[in-house]
Amino acid sequence: MNLSKRALSMVFILSMIYFSPVFAQDKSNLIVVNTDLGKETISKNIYGHFAEHLGRCIYGGIYVGMDSDIPNTRGIRNDVITALKEIAPSVVRWPGGCFADTYHWKDGIGPQSQRPSIVNTHWGGVTEDNSFGTHEFLDFCELIGAEPYICANVGSGTVQEAAEWVEYVNSDVKSPMTELRRKNGREKPWNVKYWAVGNESWGCGGNMTPDYYADLFKRYSTFMGTGRPYRVASGGTDPDFAWTETVLKKTQKSPNLIQGYSFHYYTFCHGWNDKSSATQFNENDWFHTMKNTLIMEERLEKHIAIMDEYDSKNRIGLIADEWGNWFWVEPGTNPGFLYQQNTVRDAVTAALYLNIFNNHARRVKMANIAQFVNVLQAMILTKDDMIIKTPTFYVFKMYKIHHDATLLPINVTCDDYSYEGMTLPSISACASKDKEGAIHISLCNIDMNKGRSVEIDLRGTDKLSKSSGELITSAKENDYNDFGQPEKVNIEKFSSFNVKNNILKVNLPAKSVVTIELKK
């Protein structure tokens, strides 16, 4: 009998030794959420979008014209309107992008049959008829319930052209521009708040130096004042900290002219010239996509540090008005149209980006994913009269609960996702509290293969008992939604968690995005 007890004890000890690395690894995934220390608001504008005249984003994607057999409202696709309302889009940036600095807004107003055409020299060299212009864009924004964000032409335009555009859409005082607007069918102004003064002025927007652009920005901004607009200066490339310092320094004495500063970052799988397929990828591609997405946080924080130095009162918002995954176009499509599919990998990186933006809500006041429809990391893909909702669409739908909620301070300690001697933190998270007091915690596990057991300590709140959960994942990392096929990736009910004494324990699947709601 004693031998049997000793044998059983030895088996127990050996099993503990054998499995201890697993237990230790799980116990290292600890998250602390301070539910009573939230101060910053996560602006709903972080969940903004970008609609450029690029490929089939506008024509065929958003706009089909009033004579189309595809059901539409004043030329705008009804199926796209209905779908976009599901994600509560907050703000839409238009008309570009690189296209903005070739666009002359007066060509896109008045009777459509009388509008001159334009060659889209940046994207595919196609001819556009300008049937989608200022009125159509602002109508689209009203139909989907989003605020417009217009990018003015600084590269090839004039100060007068930009000033008159602001006056045309914002002024209610009798003037040639307001009379022109009324002649074109709009009595009241739209009162557009957000205006970008040029786009990527370091490159396609004019190949300028930061000193030259900063002076030009002040000049344009001086005359774009109708309606007290929120004017956004063009940033440099994502690692160009000198551009940020120059613009912030040279506008210090003119604080009334600048309200926002633009920041662009794209995730390339292996680099600009080696982007890899959007759907046919291996773990090496997956890992480097996650790695390059996480680099964005480091770049973002360095720009924020410079902004803090020159804008200590946190008056100027950082506007991340282009971000997302950039892969090779789908085979057989126009390379200039940037049409790519959207998989579980895109869902996970979208959650990574949004968690980072949310956690920097003190400075980040807007972000616009590239792009809305049929381009890059799109919400929706269209084909004739059909549409599909992408995995990224479902992340935006899941994260609606963070719109204008209070950011909760969060500390994440997690184990690593390891691949061929390289490591990345396996878990990303953010948390917020809405106006009704409900707490929402969003998590993503970037490990393609292994799930994680996570313990979350909810501090500073009364006992939480009511809970629900949502999950985005799929059987394969390259699963996507396709035309004429049942959806493979969407939002599922998630119940692999429990909360007791304000300790939330979650079994987080591999390659997944999860949001849990907790109420008293």
Q: Report DSSP letters for 134-203, one per residue.
A: HHHHHHHHHHHT-EEEEEE--SSS-HHHHHHHHHHHH--S-SHHHHHHHHTT--S-----EEEE-S-TTT
CATH of 44-403, one of 3.90.1150.10, 3.90.660.20, 3.20.80.10, 3.20.20.80: 3.20.20.80
CA-to-CA distance for 255 and 236, rounded, in angstroms?
A: 20
> What's the confidence (pLDDT) of residue 272?
76
Output the CA angle 196-200-205, nearest 5 degrees.
Answer: 95
Q: What is the DSSP letter of 312?
A: T
Contacts of 295 (CB under 8 A, 6+ apart): none
Residue 431 and residue 461 in contact, taking contact as beta carbons nearer than 8 Å: no
pLDDT along the chain (520 residues), means of 10: 42 35 55 96 98 97 97 98 97 96 97 94 91 98 98 97 98 96 97 97 96 97 93 96 97 93 94 84 96 96 97 97 96 94 98 98 98 97 97 98 98 96 97 96 97 95 86 97 96 95 94 95
SS3 track for 192-241: CCEEEECCCCCCCCCCCCHHHHHHHHHHHHHHCCCCCCEEEECCCCCCCH
Sketch the domain layout of the chain as residue ranges. Answer: 26-39+408-519, 44-403
* Residues forming beta bridges with residue 445, ordered by sequence position: 427, 512
Asked whether 411 and 430 are in contact (CB, 8 A), the reply is no
Fold (topology level) of 26-39+408-519:
Immunoglobulin-like (2.60.40)
Q: Which residues are catalytic?
A: 200, 322
- Do domains 26-39+408-519 and 44-403 share one topology? The answer is no
β-partners of residue 72 are: 77
CA dist., res. 391 & res. 488, Å (int): 9
Sign (positive/negative) of CA torsion 69, 73, 79, 84? positive
Whose structure tokens read 């995730």? 267
**Phi and psi at residue 97, in whole multiples of 5°?**
75, 175
> What Å distances lie between residue 235 and 201, 263, 512, CA to CA?
8, 6, 33
Report whether 55 contacts 152 (CB < 8 A).
no
Question: What angle do helix axes 241-250 and 210-223 make, rounded to 10 degrees?
Answer: 40
Terminal CA-CA length for the chain: 52
User: Which DSSP letter does residue 41 get?
Assistant: B
Residue 18: the pLDDT is 31
Residue-level length of the chain: 520
Q: What token pair was written down for 112?
A: 């459509």
